[in-house]
Amino acid sequence: MTVAQKLKILKFINILLVIFLIPILLIYLLLIIPEYSACNDAMFEGEKGIDIWGSTIDCDAESRAFSEAFFQMFSMIAGGISLVMILINILYFKLKNT
């Protein structure tokens, strides 16, 4: 396999990861973070929180645990994909300079 073919493969994988990462980040930024931050400071069972869109959210134990689990899961997915993209770009530029 030549260097040019390796560069094309790395560029293709990077584009696929970008296409996969954009919807994940939109869901993360527009839905998950507002719900998580609305109930983040709730101290009592049954409190209601208001997210940045103006929707009221029940901050009972189940929904708080569910939103925290989603927040952590999407944080790990977005961080992992971003890390893989950074490593692919580093490898791409090392191969391109040789």
pLDDT (tens, 9 = 90+) of the chain, 98 residues, equals 899 999 999 999 999 999 999 999 999 999 899 888 888 777 777 788 888 888 888 888 787 888 889 999 999 999 999 999 999 999 999 999 98
With contact defined as beta carbons under 8 Å apart, do 75 and 29 qualify?
A: no
pTM, two decimal places: 0.82
Domain hosting residue 60, numbered range: 3-97
With contact defined as beta carbons under 8 Å apart, do 42 and 51 qualify?
A: no
Q: How far apart are CA 20 and CA 28, in angstroms?
A: 13
pLDDT at position 83 is 98
pLDDT at position 93 is 95
Q: How many domains does the chain have?
A: 1
